[in-house]
Amino acid sequence: MQILVVEDEDAIARPLEEGLAREGFSVTRVATGREALAAPLPDLVLLDLRLPDVDGIEVCRELRSRSNVPIIVVSARGEEVDRVVGLELGADDYVVKPFGFRELLARIRAVMRRTAPDAADEVLRVGALDVDVRARRAILAGRELALTTKEFDLLALLASDPGAVVDRERLLREVWNTEWFGPTKTVDVHVASLRKKLGDRRWIETVRGVGLRLAPQP
C-alpha cells in the first residue's frame, strides 16, 4: 500500500515515514503542495494544511476533484471551522497535531476499510459479535439483533475499528449525515437502546469528554 505524506517539517515527516515503513507501507514524502499535486496517485494521502506554497485546503480540494483517493488531514489547525472545512471538501478524516502514531495508524486502517472497493461486503467480527455490512445484520453469539437503521449504522461504525474511540462529531457526521456540533441527545438515546439490545452495557464504553468505543465482552 502506497502512502503519500505531504509534510514540510522534517521533525514530523521523518519519524512518520520510518514508523509507516515499519508497519509495511510504502511511503513517498513531499514537502509542498505543488509536489503533492504532481505526485503519482497513491492509495492514501496524509495531508498537512500548513504548506510553504499552497494552502493544504486547496490541495485537498484539487485532489478530491481528480479522484476518490482517501485523504487524512494531519494538521495543527484544530479549530472546529478547520475540521468542518476539511471534511466538507472531501477529507475522509482529520487528525490534530500532536498525535500518537498508534492513533494515526488506527485511523489509516479504518479509512482504508471504509473506502475499500469490497468494503460493503465486509463482515466485521468483534468477539462474539458479527456485523454483516452488506446484509445489514448483526449477530451476537448466534442471535440476530433487531436493530433500527441508525442503531445498525452506529454499531457498524464502532465495529469498523474496535477499541478505538470515535468522537461524537464523527458519529453525527457519518451516522446522521449532519455537521451539527452542538449538544444533542440523539447519540445518547441510540446508544442506550443499542446497549440494551446487546444485553451488556459494557459493549459500548463512554470515554468522558471524547466519545465512544466498542469493547468486546466474553
Cell of 112: 482504508
| Closest to 13 (Cα-Cα) out of 35, 114, 106, 88 | 35
Is residue 146 pLDDT above 60, yes or no? yes
Give me the mean pLDDT over the 178-197 stretch: 77
Is residue 163 pLDDT above 80, yes or no? yes
Q: Show me where the domains of the chain are located.
A: 2-115, 119-214
For 101-123, write each residue's pLDDT tens digit.
888 888 888 888 766 655 555 78
- Give the helix/strand (H/E) hosting 73: strand 71-75
Find the range with the poorest average confidence among 40-54, 66-80, 147-161: 66-80
Among the CATH numbers 1.10.10.10, 3.40.50.1970, 1.10.287.3510, 3.40.50.300, which is that of 119-214?
1.10.10.10
pLDDT category at 2 given cuts 50, 70, 90 is: very high
- Give the helix/strand (H/E) hosting 207: strand 204-207
Residue 112: the pLDDT is 81
CATH of domain 2-115: 3.40.50.2300
Phi, psi of 74 (to 5 degrees): -125, 105
Residue 133: the pLDDT is 83
Residue 117: the pLDDT is 57
pLDDT category at 1 given cuts 50, 70, 90 is: confident
Is residue 202 pLDDT above 90, yes or no? yes
pLDDT category at 177 given cuts 50, 70, 90 is: low
The residue type of 125 is R
pTM beyond 0.85, yes or no: no
CA–CA separation, 178 vs 142, rounded Å?
34
Is residue 181 pLDDT above 70, yes or no? no
